[in-house]
Structures are given as structure tokens and as C-alpha cells.
Amino acid sequence: MGQALALTLNVGCFHHPGGDGAESGDAVVEQRELVGELAFSRAQPLLRGDGGGAQGGTIGGIDASVERVVDRAQVLLGLRDRRRSLGQRRGLRRLRLRNTLFSDALNHASLIDGARLSRADVQIYPHGDTDALSAMLDASDADVKLIVSDTVFSMDGDVAPLAALLALAERHSAWLVLDDAHGFGVLGPQGRGAIAQAALRSPNLISIGTLGKAAGVSGAFVVAHATVIEWLVQRARPYIFTTASTPAAAYAVSASLKIIGGDEGEARRTHLRALIERTRAMLKATPWIPVDSHTAVQPLIIGANDAALDMAGALDRAGLWVPAIRPPTVPVGTSRLRVSLSAAHSHDDLDRLEAGLRACAGGTQ
């Protein structure tokens, strides 16, 4: 395993803001201050902490601060863990109508699991292929249609055709569920994410963000029309029946949100964009196949499993942790090294990566 100086920290991960040992009371005060600061907001945030749906606990302002960053109508926040987003997806199964879920072929495993748990009919459309999706929607007579997609694909780094997906959703009176795990905090104005970057707004849109990547904590949130949020609060069992998250986590998230939405976040995103452009050029110059990604996820397709593992091993011995991603996570024959950039990386780090890749390329000649 490489040294701590890893080139594969969390994708686009801003440094965890780092708690200062604040006591619970400080965290709550912090949240109240945020409520005041955001009082002008259009939002009617749910002033709840994790599990507050069941227990009436309030950690005011967290929701409002997320709302400020994502700029949407209403926010449901679960701070605890990834069960939150799973729960929201699972809650969608309860409609008791004929449901069909249309899922991008390269969606993240958590969306795939959510689709399976939903017990809806699942139709998988080829990656990013809105023509194929359109034909499937035309042919469907389901009562409820959900289109589900990552925004930034976690293994390829490309961005889904968000505007075209929303246009299809609206034309077919379908829901569009977008997982912005890798967009939130990194893309769009103030790091509001890929959906804000594409300037999309619609009552048909349900967006999910995680707080474990750019925000550096854990948990997830859903942003959607108020009716959808209310329905999830009433029906999403993993949300309802979970212990509230800790004030420490709430404090850390609110500190992260301040960084993401402020000048420091902007500076980190500018730095990250420079790293991304440099990495694109670097990967293009190798004998392997880079994916055309403009995000922090920069894969290099090696092909065979063994070759990808050998390269990851060689880089590891050089002190660089660049994981080899293999089937079944990615299609057979497309094993890859996944470089995941973070604003915490430096150009010196990229010098080292460049040298490591050059050494690997030398070994293949």
C-alpha cells in the first residue's frame, strides 16, 4: 500500500473542515445562526436532524444550509449514513401502482440496489442514450415512471445528458431521480452541483446528494418538490426508524457547507479544475485509453484485469494509490486505473503520478 500521500482520495473531496472539539450545544447554536442567515430564503426547510421524522428532534438550519447550496424548493436531510439515500429510493416502491424504473446501464451500485429493492419493473437503457430511453418511455404503459441516473458517473467521470433527461421526464410525466454524489460541492455555481450547473429546475426532478464526498462527513439528502419530501418523510422507513445523527456531524456538515459555498470553496474548485485539465493531458499522452472526462474522476482504461492490477501494484510501490477497478464494477475488458482528483492534491502530486505512469509505460515497451 502506498504512503499516505495518495492520489486517490475521495473524488473531488474538499478537506474535511475538521471539528474543533465543539460541544453539542455549539453545534446547535451554529445551526440556529444559519437559520437566521438564511431567513430570506424561499425554502421551507424541514428543520430536522437525522431521524427527526420519527422523533421530532430538531437540529435547525442544516436543511436550510444545504438548500442554500443546492438552491431547490425543499430539502430532506439524513445525516447518518448511506442508508439514507437507499431509504429514499426504497420509499418509492410504495406507490402500489404499476411502476417502471428506467435506469442508466452505468448507474452506481447504490442506485441499482435501490432499483432492486423498489420492486418496480426495471428497464436498463444504454449508457447516456436518450434516444433509446425515449423509445422505451414511448413503449411503456406504466402508471408511474422514474428515470434514474448518476449525474457524474462514478467509474467513468462523464456527465449524464441532464437537460435531455429532464426534457424526456417532462414529456412523459415521469420523475427524474438524479444522484449528484460527485457533482455536489464540485460543479456549478457555489458548488451547487451538476444540476445547478445545467440550470435545471422542475417539479419532476428529485435530486440526491451525499455528504460523504465533497462535504467530507457522511449521510445524504434529497431535494425535491415539497410534496415528494413530505411523502418521503411519511413513508421512507430507513429515514423514519433511524437514530438521530450526532450534533458533531451536524456541526461538521455546516462548516463544510460554508466552505463549499464561499470564496474558499471557489478557490479550491479553481485549483481542482486546473488539476483536471493537467491530468487529462497527462493521461492522453500514455499508451492507454483515457475516458473523455472533465470531472475529478479521471479513468485510464487498461483493458485486462492483470494488466490493470500490475500497474496499480507498480504505482503503489512508487507510493501512489491508484486503484484498479475491474469487473463486475466495470464491463469486462475495460479494467482501469481510476485517478480521483481532490482539491487537496498539488501539482507536485501530479508530477509524481506522471513519473509513475511514464515508468509503467516504459515497462510495457
- Residue 193 C-alpha from the chain's centroid: 9
Verify whether residue 213 is a known catalytic residue. Answer: yes
C-alpha cell belonging to residue 153: 458517473
Contact residues for 139 (Cβ-Cβ < 8 A; gap 6+): none
CB of 358 to ligand PLP, least distance (A): 29
| Smallest separation, CB 147 to ligand PLP (Å) | 15
The distance of Cα 293 from the centroid of its chain, to the nearest Å, equals 16
Task: Pick between residue 154 and residue 342 the one whose CB is nearest to ligand PLP.
Answer: 154
The C-alpha atoms of residue 310 and residue 358 are separated, in whole angstroms, by 14
Measured between alpha carbons, how far is 87 from 93 in angstroms, rounded to an integer? 10
| Annotated catalytic residue 145 | no
Of 213, 293, 340, 342, the catalytic one is: 213
Residue written as cell 445545467?
198
Question: Which one, 30 or 179, has the nearer CB to ligand PLP?
Answer: 179
Active site residue 172: no
To ligand PLP, the closest distance from the beta carbon of 36 in angstroms equals 29
Q: Which one of the listed residues 182, 254, 335, 340 is annotated catalytic?
A: 182
The footprint of ligand PLP (CB under 6 A) covers 82, 85, 108, 110, 150, 154, 179, 181-182, 210, 212-213, 220
Considering 118, 149, 154, 254, which one is annotated as catalytic?
A: 154
C-alpha cell at 250: 451536524
Q: Which is nearer to ligand PLP, 25 or 328 (CB)?
A: 328
| DSSP secondary structure string for all residues of 144-207 | EEEEEEESB-TTT--B--HHHHHHHHHHTT-EEEEE-TTTTTTSSGGG--HHHHTT---TTEEE
- Least CB distance from residue 150 to ligand PLP, whole Å? 5
Between 150 and 349, CB nearer to ligand PLP = 150
**Active-site annotation, residues:** 154, 182, 213
